[in-house]
Amino acid sequence: MWDYTDRVMDHFMNPRNVGIIEDADGIGEVGNINCGDALKLYVKLDDKKERIIDAKFQTFGCASAIASASALTEMIIGKTIGEAGKLSNQDIANYLGALPDAKMHCSVMGIDALNDAIANILGEKEKGTTHSCSHDTVYDPNGLDRTVCHCFGITERKIREIAEGNNLRTVDEITNYSKAGGGCGGCKDEIQSILNSICGINEQPKTPSQVMSEGLTNLQKIDMIQKLIESEIRPKLVSDGGNVELIDVDGNNVYVRLQGACAGCPSSHVTLKRWIEATLKKKVYPDIIVLEK
């Protein structure tokens, strides 16, 4: 049982400002029901379009998610857009007296919704477009918008924002504040690498197996990958009604074709990244990128 403050329980049991504002000046949407939490925030401005005179929310989530959204609406009513934009997720937690470490992501979700609504008001996004935990984010190995945690759709940019904004230094803290790393766990090493770069810590020397794998020929890589697919990956997929076929290996790119129940599954991208790619990265070589063909 989580140790909630009285104020958290009050906002959970008696949430303020639940509902919809039909003529809202700004709407912010974050999260995804499939990922466990979702929040839609409505903001109404005064006639001068400067000060927030009303705010309402709809949410799907736990007690902390409801309490955080309720508290947020109370905090922003009466503030100017500029004042509201300066609020942080820690301000929400402080307003509630505290949140359990593992529930800090609920306060982050609230601020993300607020920032999304403000962007809507300022014309930086259209109403009805959702800033969500999409599992379909295009993989960009060189950009900050690449997805690091495919279980919850968390990008490197988001991890950096949360880490720097809350002075976080461990993977467990990142998980508490964003859920990243809290699913299959396959991205934890990458999260640690991001934290190391923020802190100015040099990467650990490569292990002998990593050095060896970098010198492998393409045929040797294919052999290692094929053996791992046959011994570990395929049996797991077959047990769930799916299958996978290795199509080609081109440098660090491994091309596969999902079959059976995995073919056409809405979560196929997650299967590629959270299971197949994570396994190959860990047991063959760390720079592998798995792509469906």
Question: What is the chain's alpha carbon radius of gyration, rounded to the nearest angstrom?
Answer: 22
Active-site pick, 106, 149, 151, 262:
106
Q: Are strands 289-292 and 154-155 parallel, antiparallel or unpaired?
A: unpaired
> In terms of Cα–Cα distance, which of 283, 210, 214, 291 is closest to 256?
291
Neighbouring-strand partners of residue 154: 149
Q: What is the DSSP string of 163-177?
A: HHHHT--SHHHHHHH
User: Does the active-site annotation cover 106?
Assistant: yes
Measuring CA to CA, which residue among 293, 206, 288 is closest to residue 244? 293
- Distance (Å, rounded) from C-alpha 194 to C-alpha 183? 18
264 backbone dihedrals φ, ψ, rounded to 5°: 80, 0
| Per-residue three-class SS string for 192-209 | HHHHHHHHCCCCCCCCHH
As a whole number of angstroms, the distance between CA 63 and CA 54 comes to: 23
Whether 281 contacts 209, CB under 8 Å: no
Q: Is 141 helix (H, G, I), strand (E, B) or coil?
A: coil
The CA distance from 99 to 79, in Å, is 24
35 is catalytic: yes
- The set of catalytic residues is 35, 106
